[in-house]
Amino acid sequence: MEERDWQILKTLFAHRNITRAAEELYLSQPYLTKRLRQIEETFGTEIVRRGRRGVSFTPQGEYLAGQADRMLDRFAQIRKNVMRMKTEVAGTLKIGVSNHFSRNHLPHLLNRLRRQYPQIDYQVHAGWSREIIGMVNNRQVHVGIVNGDFNWVHQAERLMNDPLVAVSKREIRKDELPDLTRIEYQTEHHSEKLAEQWWEENFCRPPKTGFHVDKADTAKELVKSGVGYAILPEMIIGDSDRLYRHEITGRDGLPISSGIYLYYPEEFREIRLVGAFINFMKTEHEDQQKQGY
């Protein structure tokens, strides 16, 4: 039903007279009668009955008329929201984000973003980067923050570096690693390949793996207990963890790092709240670069 149909029901219920209702609404009587018939066809029931003293409403008609105010308020709120979105950054932003980033960076970023844009609501989907890329490609989310450089045909922004580090409870030397217990965990394919490549370039035998766990946070807790070492994304290691970090570098002496990227379909940037989020994330990246991250 259209908004005017609810207005017709409200006005006719108040007057119980088609002539008066038509005059108040600046409609012709034939047109108002036609709309009533269409409403009845929509619901498959009789709404009003004509009599000498005007019209009377059936129980179904009374119910619909009773809903008119609520429905008209809803239309008014929708118009208000649409007009506000033309001038304000508002609406629901759908974000896909990799597991590591969602736990270690996203909360404080969204906290700052919400202070800047209080009218934005958020739907956050966390998962493996390849899953997030699929969601962005299928337009299930507006933007995706993922680990690794994918073959993406739309827009991509490199947000930050996420170096890999070997962490342990006690200080260790690089040449000790093959003899120490390694804690493996399920991680992003890109990060896993980087770690494997680094190991093959530096050691002639495979790592001495003693544990396989579900995620990096579990591996970190095992490291803190002293049962072995792990190669982890530096972003999940905090000063309060009190762990030793051994920087992993390539043959060029530079840290081996997995990039964190922001992916989005180009046309989504035209949506005000998406454009605001992209600009916010790019500013965050520029600030980190100035601080040497």
Please give the tally of structural domains in the chain.
3
The mean pLDDT value for 77-87 works out to: 72
Residue positions counted in the chain = 293
According to the 3-state scheme, what is the secondary structure of the chain?
CCHHHHHHHHHHHHHCCHHHHHHHHCCCHHHHHHHHHHHHHHHCCCCEEEECCEEEECHHHHHHHHHHHHHHHHHHHHHHHHHHHHHCCCEEEEEEEEHHHHHHCHHHHHHHHHHHCCCEEEEEEEECHHHHHHHHHCCCCCEEEEECCCCCCCEEEEEEEEEEEEEECCCCCHHHHHHCEEEEECCCHHHHHHHHHHHHHHCCCCCEEEEEECCHHHHHHHHHHCCCEEEEEHHHCCHHHCCEEEECECCCCCECEEEEEEEECHHHHHCHHHHHHHHHHHHHHHHHHHCCC
114 and 177: one domain? Answer: no
Task: Give the separation between CA 218 and CA 225, rounded to whole angstroms.
Answer: 11
Choose one of 37, 71, 87: the last residue of a domain. 87
Considering the domain architecture, whether residues 246 and 172 belong to the same structural domain is answered as yes
Q: Nearest Cα to 180, choosing from 198, 217, 214, 205?
A: 205
Q: How confident is the model at residue 42 (pLDDT cuts 50, 70, 90)?
A: very high
Return the structure tokens found at 141.
């989310």
Q: Can you give the pLDDT at residue 86?
A: 64
Q: What is the pLDDT of residues 92-137, one digit of tens each?
A: 999 999 988 888 888 888 899 888 888 889 999 999 988 998 898 8
Task: Write out pLDDT tens, residues 153-211.
Answer: 667 888 888 899 999 999 999 999 999 999 999 888 888 899 999 999 999 999 999 99
Q: What is the mean pLDDT of the chain?
A: 88
Do 176 and 252 lie in one domain? The reply is: yes
The answer to whether residues 127 and 167 belong to one domain is no
Supply the pLDDT for residue 122: 92
How many CA atoms within 13 Å lie on the side-chain side of 164?
26
Q: pTM here?
A: 0.64
**CATH value at residue 38:** 1.10.10.10
Q: Between 58 and 25, whose confidence is greater?
A: 58
**Same domain as 283, residue 156:** yes
pLDDT confidence of residue 290:
57
Is the predicted pLDDT of residue 37 greater than 90, yes or no? yes
- Report the percentage of the chain scoring pLDDT > 90: 48
* Alpha-carbon span 226 to 181, nearest angstrom: 10
Same domain flag for 50 and 82:
yes
Could you tell me if 156 and 264 lie in one domain? yes
Catalogue the long-range contacts made by 58-64 (C-beta closer than 8 Å, 24 or more residues apart). 61/9, 61/13, 62/13, 64/9, 64/39
Within this chain, do residues 245 and 217 fall inside the same structural domain, yes or no? yes
Note down the domain range covering 264: 91-160+259-290
Domain C-terminal end among 63, 87, 111: 87
Pair 79, 190 in one domain: no
Whether 156 and 215 map to the same domain: the answer is: no
- CATH number of the domain enclosing 212: 3.40.190.290
Q: Does 22 share its domain with 138?
A: no
Q: Are residues 178 and 250 in the same domain?
A: yes
Longest dimension (CA), the chain: 102
Closest CA to 191 of 130, 138, 143: 130
**pLDDT attached to residue 215:** 87
From 36, 63, 87, the end of a domain falls on 87
Q: How far is CA 132 from CA 31, 98, 107, 142, 165, in A?
A: 52, 7, 18, 11, 25
